[in-house]
Structure 1
Amino acid sequence: MQIFSTFEHSSFLELAIASLEERGVNSHNIFAVPLNTRKSERKIFDTIHYADGVSLIDLAMGLATALSVIGASIGFKLAWGPIYWGLIGAATGFVIGLAIKWGYFKLFKPLKGERSSKPTEVILIVECSGKVAAEVEQILWDHLALGVAIINGEENKKDSS
């Protein structure tokens, strides 16, 4: 059987490996693969093929709507009229909202910590017999595994024969 699990790179991973070796799992049957973190900076603008769920224009559209209503209302008393002042208010609100969101994501969001400050994850693969699989799984969960999956290799070999 193969047991796959993911861990944050921490001392809990080392303790899990040590516990597995104490329970009789050979160190040659334990394989740990650290994952690389993202080196490049996150893109500000989304494309049609990539979207990270962060929107820059939501605040911009809200402010554009609010300032266009205010501009149109005040425009009845001003020289150019409500239509021009509504468009001026919409453009002004959009630019202000876009500047606020862009500044927030460019200046303040990296200070709170992005992916580069998170600890890397490690995939741990354990090859063991079916007798100790439940015990190995429990050890992994006890040492704060992020996820665990068990692949039963013996059943797959019987099905393919």
Structure 2
Amino acid sequence: MLIIGTFEHSIEVEEALSVLEKSGVPRKSIMTVVMDKSSRLSDVTATRYPHKKTLAFEIGMATATAFSVIGISFGFVLKWGPILWGIISALLGFTLGTGITRWIQRHYLRNENPGKGPLPELVVIIRCTEASFHELRLVLLQYRVLSIGRIDENS
């Protein structure tokens, strides 16, 4: 049987591999693969989660609409009239909404690893017997495995 576990690349992976070797799993039965998260793949997450890229624009348009309504209302009593005050206040609202949203995204919604993107994932594949599956699964869970899969080679 094969056990497949995914980890974030961290010291816990090394500790888990050490414990697995000490528990009797031979080194030749363990395979590790580092998954490549290059910049080419970041566009996939942008299309999968479009709100990350478009949130600032959407909030900017919403505040532009709100500000333009207020600007048009006040424009009836101000000197330049409702059309110019509507345009001026819409531009001001868009700038404020977009700027504040981008500032919040930059300062409060940071990655754990700023500037370098998300940590790469590591896949650990272990060949073991059915009897040792539960013991090895507990070891992986103890060292913060993200997910565990299992393949029966007899099937």
With normalisation by structure 2, the TM-score equals 0.77
CA distance in 2, matches of 1:145, 1:111: 20
CA distance in 2, matches of 1:90, 1:150: 57
Asked whether the equivalents of residues 2 and 151 of structure 2 are also in contact (C-alpha less than 8 Å), the reply is: yes
CA offset at residue 110 of structure 1?
Answer: 6.3
CA offset at residue 115 of structure 1?
Answer: 7.0
- RMSD value over aligned CA atoms? 3.0
AA paired with 2:153? G
AA paired with 1:78? L
CA distance in 1, matches of 2:48, 2:136: 39
Helix, strand or coil at the partner of 1:153:
coil
Partner of 2:72: 72
- Is 1:5 matched up with 2:5? yes
CA distance in 2, matches of 1:112, 1:62: 30
- Is 1:95 matched up with 2:95? yes
Gaps in structure 2 of 5+ consecutive residues: none
Gaps in structure 1 of 5+ consecutive residues: 157-161
Helix, strand or coil at the partner of 1:33:
strand
Asked whether the equivalents of residues 63 and 94 of structure 1 are also in contact (C-alpha less than 8 Å), the reply is: yes
CA offset at residue 64 of structure 1?
Answer: 0.8
Partner of 1:53: 51
Asked whether the equivalents of residues 37 and 120 of structure 1 are also in contact (C-alpha less than 8 Å), the reply is: yes
AA paired with 1:13? V
Instruction: Give the total of aligned pairs.
Output: 150
Out of 54-63 and 94-103, give the one that drifted further.
Answer: 94-103
CA offset at residue 27 of structure 1?
Answer: 0.7
Partner of 1:23: 23
Cα 1:2–1:115 shift into 2, 3 Å: farther
Alignment of 1:9-158 (within 5 A): 9-39=9-39, 49=47, 51-54=49-52, 55-102=55-102, 108=107, 113-114=113-114, 116=116, 118-154=118-154, 156=155
With normalisation by structure 1, the TM-score equals 0.74
Give the share of equivalent positions with the same residue, in percent.
Answer: 31
CA distance in 1, matches of 2:82, 2:124: 65
Asked which structure has the greater CA Rg, the reply is 1
AA paired with 1:27? R
